[in-house]
A = this chain, B = another copy of it.
C-alpha cells in the first residue's frame, strides 16, 4: 500500500485534539484506544506521539484548556452591577457556554477519576475558582438582603449542578431554543435564591 508522506502538523495537531474530545465524550477515556483515535484522525497510531507524550497528557490538556477557556470567558463576560443582575448574567453565561462545548463539559466531570493525582488537583483547583465566582455573587446578594440563601456554599453547588444538567438532555433543533432554556432556568434560579 502506498505510503503517505509530508508534514501536516498545522492541521493534524488540532485534528487530534478534536477527535480525542469527541471520542472521549462518546466512549470514555479508558474505552478509547490510541489506535481508534488514530483511525478517527486518519493516521497510524505511532504518529499520535508527535503531538502528545502519552494518552494521559492528551486528556489533561483537553480538560485544562476547557477550564482555562471557561474562566477566561466568564472574566470577559458582561456582568451587570448588582447581585441580581450578576446572577442572571452567570446563569445565562453558564448555560450558553456549556451548550456550545457539550463534549468538553461531559469529559470535565466524567473523566476526572482517570486523571493522575497531580493532574486531578490542577483541574479541581480551576473548578473551585469558577465555583467561587458564583458563591461570591450569592454572598453579596445575601449580605445586601436581596437574596435569601441560608447556605451559599450548598446553593452554589446546587445551582451549578442544575445548570450543567442542561447539557445532558438539550438537543439542537428540539422544542426549545437555547435562549428559551436560558429564560426558563433563570426563572427557576431567581426564585430558588428568594429574589
User: A interface vs B, CB < 8 Å?
Assistant: 26-31, 110, 113-114, 148, 150-151, 154-155, 157-162, 164-166, 168-169, 176, 181, 184-185, 187-189, 191-194
Contact = CB atoms under 8 A, between A and B. Distances in A.
Contacts of A187: 150
B158 A165 contact: yes
B113 A26 contact: yes
Q: Which of A28, A148, A159, A169 has the most CB of B within 10 A?
A: A28
Protomer copies: 2
A128 B168 CA distance: 14
A104 to B, nearest CB: 16
Interface of A, helix, strand, loop or mixed by DSSP = helix
A98 B75 CA distance: 35
A165 B161 contact: yes
Contact of A192 (B161, B166, B181, B192): B192
Contact of A185 (B30, B148, B158): B158
Contact of A155 (B29, B31, B158, B188): B188
B114 A31 contact: yes
Given A158-B165, A161-B162, A165-B157, A184 B151 contact: yes
27 contacts: A26-B113, A28-B28, A28-B30, A28-B114, A30-B30, A30-B31, A31-B114, A110-B110, A148-B191, A151-B184, A154-B184, A157-B168, A158-B162, A158-B165, A158-B166, A158-B185, A159-B162, A160-B165, A161-B162, A161-B164, A162-B162, A162-B165, A188-B192, A188-B193, A189-B192, A191-B191, A191-B194
